[in-house]
Copies of this chain bind each other. A is one copy, B any other.
Amino acid sequence: MAEFLVFIDNTDLWALPRDEFVAVVEREQAAGLALLEKGTLQKLWRLPGEKGNVGIWSATDADELHEALQSLPIFPYARIQVRALATHPLHTGDYTFAR
């Protein structure tokens, strides 16, 4: 599986009328729980003070990641930045690059 660091900025979401905002967040919570369940979303954190989050996501590839992100109810309002992650030698012991 490929892992990704994903920043999601939901500032624009907060500009919605209150009832719409509540409805989208409700659907977003359900979608998020499903993705947690499926393992596509490993863990999500809030950036304190900000209207967004950062998370560790995993998918077979960038296509599957995009599908998951695009399926989120917040997608139309979200500004998303994705960074590909590679395995660190600390977890594999493979330090050939520095021997």
* Chain A 5-31 interface residues, beta-carbon cutoff 8 Å to B: 5-6, 8, 11, 14, 21-22, 25-26, 29
Encoded as 1 (CB less than 8 Å from any B CB) or 0, chain A from 54 to 67 comes to 11100001110110
Instruction: Report the contact-size class of chain A (Cβ under 8 Å from the partner).
Output: 35 or more
Please give, as numbers and ranges, the residues of chain B lying within 8 Å of A48 by CB-CB distance: 4, 62-63, 65-66, 69, 82, 84-86
* Chain A 45-87 interface residues, beta-carbon cutoff 8 Å to B: 45-50, 53-56, 61-63, 65-66, 69-70, 76, 79-87
Contact between B84 and A36 (Cβ–Cβ < 8 Å)? Answer: no
- 12 additional A-B pairs beyond A5-B54, A50-B82, A62-B85, beta carbons within 8 Å, are A2-B2, A6-B49, A29-B89, A46-B88, A47-B83, A47-B84, A47-B86, A48-B63, A48-B86, A49-B66, A56-B56, A61-B86
- By Cβ-Cβ distance, the 3 closest A-B pairs, closest first, are A49-B80, A25-B98, A62-B86
